[in-house]
Amino acid sequence: MKPLSIIVLAAGNSTRLKSQLTKVLHPICGRPLIDYVLETARSVRPRKISVVLGNDREKVQAHLQAQKGAAKDLSFAHQKERRGTAQATQVGLKALGKISGHVLILSGDVPLLRPETLKRLLRLGAARPLSLVTAVLAAPFGYGRIMRDLEGRVCGIVEEKNASPEEKQINEINAGIYCVEAAFLKKALAQVRPDPVKKEYYLTDIIAYAVKQGLPVHTIAVDDAYEILGVQLLGNTQVGRSCHIGPGSILINARLGEGVQVKAYSHLEDCTVKSGAVIGPFARLRPASIVEEEAHVGNFVELKKTRLGKGSKANHLSYLGDAVIGRGVNIGAGTITCNYDGKNKFQTYLEDGVFVGSDTQLVAPVKVGKGAYIGAGTTVTMDVPAGSLAISRVPQRNIPGYKK
């Protein structure tokens, strides 16, 4: 096989992520994003990998160079100004020096790409001028769309910002992963002009250039679109500074304050989590829930239309629906708000400092006053005055000699 080189584009300035940490250094399952990309890159045994970095290059470079015996195949390129993927590729190409054969171009922020997919691209692309990876997405917003002629041949890529309403309907997208013959790449990049709308040099313009030259453009489609997704939070999700989001968690229209921890496998939708709160693992925040500062929502706890006050804790196995919970409240394991009588929903109010013992049912509508205690195993069916103890369980009886 002819020599293979790889360019990893990682000079994007993480503006959409709005994080203090460079995007490619964000840990996923404990490892920085870029490590996954390089592992996949190395699986096809390239001669050399050129990593294109932007303003935070020192940190990324230091991280990669600190890896045991790994830096030998890497060269680093600095894209001083973010002027588009074509310009980044050009910078990366320069750092590779004199090359022949093919170049694989990867995005530094697409960590789930599988080595099998790259190998498949290479098998197709190694004897062709230009091949790329595509995916069919139900929601293709933001991606470049693959344009095909009536025979199904690729004739170009149109970016979201430049697409007409009809073009926006196209579901086949460009994954940003290419296999290009080095000599053609060099020639094609020299032809790219800045886009009139975004003023950036689009790497995708090399596709239209190939077509103009009468060269065929080949594609492979990924089986599972998740493989090519970048780092994504769904809907209108906002994440404050220094938050940590564990693996398998899904955030849809969630608003997170600063320093929030969302532990693994939590599902948050249309909700607000304020600074310093801890969610999960395995927690569910349903719409209209608000978790105030420093509050804890632990494993197998579900909140629906509920406000959990500052510093309050519901750490295990609970359902809290249509509830207003004050500050410093402790919700014991297995607490259930019985908010629904089969017809209507009712509210539960727990004032500041309430202590709810384990395995409590709160039959709404009900109010528990400030600082009151609920004994474990109680079914609360009437309001509890502030400072008192409510207990409804049957007193324990021990029957001596029962076994005999």
Q: Which of 90, 107, 117, 272 binds ligand UD1 (CB under 6 A)?
A: 107
Looking at 5, 40, 50, 79, which residue binds ligand UD1 (CB under 6 A)? 79
CA distance 46 to 6: 7
Q: Does 40 bind ligand UD1 (CB under 6 A)?
A: no
List the one residue from 118, 132, 157, 211 that touches ligand UD1 (CB under 6 A): 157
Among 5, 38, 76, 108, binds ligand UD1 (CB under 6 A): 108
Nearer of residues 50 and 361 to ligand UD1, judged by Cβ: 50
Segment contacting ligand UD1 (CB under 6 A): 105-113, 288-296, 330-338, 343-351? 105-113
Q: Which is nearer to ligand UD1, 10 or 49 (CB)?
A: 10
* 84 touches ligand UD1 by CB under 6 A: yes
The answer to the question of residue 144 lying near ligand UD1 (CB under 6 A) is: yes
Q: Is 316 a catalytic residue?
A: yes
The reply on whether position 143 binds ligand UD1 by CB under 6 A is: yes
Task: Please tell me whether residue 49 binds ligand UD1 under the rule CB under 6 A.
Answer: no
Q: Which is nearer to ligand UD1, 88 or 380 (CB)?
A: 88
- Pick the piece of the chain touching ligand UD1 (CB under 6 A) from 80-88, 113-121, 291-299, 321-329: 80-88
Q: Does 331 bind ligand UD1 (CB under 6 A)?
A: no
Among 9-17, 311-319, 322-330, 336-344, the segment contacting ligand UD1 (CB under 6 A): 9-17
Report d(CA 337, CA 346) in Å as an integer.
9
Residue corresponding to tokens 């007409």: 164
82 contacts ligand UD1 (rule: CB under 6 A): yes
Q: Does 230 bind ligand UD1 (CB under 6 A)?
A: yes
Q: Is 206 in the site for ligand UD1 (CB under 6 A)?
A: no
Residue 83 touches ligand UD1, criterion: CB under 6 A:
yes
Question: Interface with ligand UD1 includes 173 (CB under 6 A)?
Answer: yes
For position 42 contacting ligand UD1 by CB under 6 A, the verdict is no
Does position 148 interact with ligand UD1 (CB under 6 A)? The reply is no
3-state secondary structure the chain: CCCEEEEEEECCCCCCCCCCCCHHHCEECCEEHHHHHHHHHHCCCCCEEEEEECCCHHHHHHHHHCCCCCHHHEEEEECCCCCCHHHHHHHHHHHCCCCCCEEEEEECCCCCCCHHHHHHHHHHHCCCCEEEEEEECCCCCCCCEEEECCCCCEEEEECHHHCCCCHHHCCEEEEEEEEEEHHHHHHHHHHCCCCCCCCCCCCCHHHHHHHHCCCCEEEEECCCHHHHCCCCCECCCEECCCCEECCCCEEECCEECCCCEECCCCEEECCEECCCCEECCCCEECCCCEECCCCEEEEEEEEECCEECCCCEEEEEEEEECEEECCCCEECCCCEEECECCCCECCEEECCCCEECCCCEEECCEEECCCCEECCCCEECCCECCCCEECCCCCCCCCCCCCC
The answer to the question of residue 22 lying near ligand UD1 (CB under 6 A) is no
Q: In whole angstroms, how close is the CB of 26 to ligand UD1 at the nearest point?
A: 13
Question: Phi first, then psi: what are they for 187, rounded to 5°?
Answer: -65, -45
Dihedral of the CA atoms 190, 196, 198, 199 (nearest 10)?
A: 50
332 binds ligand UD1 (CB under 6 A): no
Please select the residue that binds ligand UD1; options are 4, 113, 203, 210, rule is CB under 6 A. 203
Using CB positions, name the residue nearest to ligand UD1. Answer: 144
Catalytic residues: 316
Binding residues vs ligand UD1 (CB under 6 A) = 9-12, 52, 79, 82-85, 87-88, 107-109, 143-144, 157, 159, 173-176, 202-204, 230
